Structure 1
Amino acid sequence: MAPAAKLDNNEELRRLKDVNIDEASARRHVRDSLKDIQLNLDHILFKTPENGIKTKESYEVNSRGIEIFSKSWLPEASTPRALVCFCHGYGDTCTFFFEGIARRLALSGYGVFAMDYPGFGLSEGLHGYIPSFDLLVQDVLEHYSNIKEKPEFSSLPSFLFGQSMGGAVSLKIHLKQPNAWAGAVLVAPMCKIADDLVPPPVLKQILIGLASVLPKQKLVPQKDLAEAAFRDIRKREMTPYNVICYSGKPRLRSAVEMLRTTQEIEKQLQKVSLPILILHGEADTVTDPSVSRELYEKAKSADKKIVLYENAYHSLLEGEPDDMILRVLSDIISWLDEHSLQAEGSVVTSV
């Protein structure tokens, strides 16, 4: 492994921060320039070895004509015990912090699959723009359905793994395919955006009206999400290296779509029926932990578990002290181990 990257005085990082990355081609160039530096940051996630893991990066055009970036991590010496299909959070990508999470899961025997949503990470589309949350969900559902149908994977149990906004994506996929998944791991799921991040009612109505005429404009006020999400200050200082993360003000249509989606999910919590593991930091000020409690209480799932971590912020797997990150990873892997065993031999079909 190369020496750990320094967090200060990095000329390449400063240069790339000035590059306009609204389009995917620019984001791909920036990521390629910093990839080696990123993976050598002094973060516990990047200390997981790659030995014994087969990785693959792909670009494929989906049925809507959008080029989607995806990545997979598979155990090298054995058949995966189950598939884990990752749904990332708002603004994020599957090529930075998730690399370390995926390695941990792959070394535990899981086939891990991840993709960047249209407009995020390395996938095609205007950066940070969600013209329709329902279409985004359909793109994710299509991508993972194609993977699950491959002959080498079709007999394996499959799990959704959603972080933050990805929790909302996972729940919407489940509600569309109630019998298609062996379970879901939901980390700080976006069932409701924290009240402090939602504009006052009058301003909210003005912004909703403007979204119909200026959908791509960045006019929605926003706090510093890194400060709100990362409790460990040293890890927070690494977030600028996630250069293709969308960190600007939310675009009007994106904000309206996320707000609409959370309101919709809140009304359907009682329809959730698959086995679920819900993990949330009690000090989360980005997504509301009280709604995770409500999801746990209202879900009709016969098999459900919630873990609330005292003092923890939003980014449980990236921004907490090392001992908390390891604890959360252990909780996830233990739950997957138990439920992949339960699902062996059973047939899970999509509806």
Structure 2
Amino acid sequence: MNVTGHTTRPASIRDVADAAGVSYQTVSRVINGHPSVRPATRDRVLTAIEELGFRRNATAHALASGRSRIVTVLTANTTHYGYASILQGIEEAARAASYAVGIGVLESAGEAAVKAEVQRASDAGGGLIVIAYDRAGVRALAAVPAGLPVVGVVETPASPPGGESPWVWADDRAAAHEATRHLLSLGHDTVHYVAIPSSTRRTSARTAGWRQALREAGAAEPRPLQGSWGPAGGYAAGRRLARDPAATAILCGNDDLALGVMRALHEAGRAIPDEVSVAGFDDSPLAAYLTPSLTTVRLDFTGLGRAAFGLLHGVLEESATVAPHPVSAPELVARESSGPRQHPPRHTPRQHPGAVPPT
């Protein structure tokens, strides 16, 4: 505190220049290690920086280097677990590199709305990271102007992309394959699947991994049920599956869907895991604390966000070559919601008197 009781403001680059008796441009050269500064001048500036406690911020560095140290993330969602964790990873990595992060929300998948948001992000300078897990994100990634540094966080590609595609992804296909094999290994004849929406019209990687495991085992391939991103979609699908005595194992496209499925099975009197095994996807924080705790596949979304920023940072700093790549391997986390198939089932499906109508 100073004598007037007001908080002392942080020293600025101009304060350092005044104390050292140089221009603020000279201070910028010293901060950035420019070789044209005389040793005596450099010493005066460094002494002033130390005495004033000056700390360079991202804006000051941008002025000195001519580069904008900001990254804008374009995303259609900021709340679902995967999206939010990716944002967390991007922010952590950006902060460590003294970059600021802005977020542009894609409120619509309409072409005009997407282009307008991409333009706003482009005007901010720096680079872009697009979370392309939905139609709006896919369109935004395609609409980024040529020459603007961009990295896409995408679904697992159907085939390895070329070096011109700066993408990162988690191996969803391998994850769904592993979860399906786990359920089949417990003696279930087949595994039903409640799918999350895909970012494209093709079969999603998670659906493809589930189907591949069934085919390798010679198991029947039930038609996937299309869910949403949240528990309500899982609840609606679960009500349908609860009426089918042959549905003894269910894989859900994310943990939120699994939560809705488990509620519907509980209301129908189908015991988990004695009558029906349920597995989710993502290992969200709630998964370990459900009753029963949820078997799921752990994906490192935070690490995915850090990798996306790292790839973009290399491009912005001209220190790395763009190379698309998957990030980390999925990990099956077996918990209480999956178990051996019972022969025969102990109960017949019923409707719980407290059932909630689907929303």
Same fold at TM > 0.5: no
Which one has the largest radius of gyration? 2
TM-score of the pair, normalised by structure 1:
0.33
The TM-score with structure 2 as length reference comes to 0.32
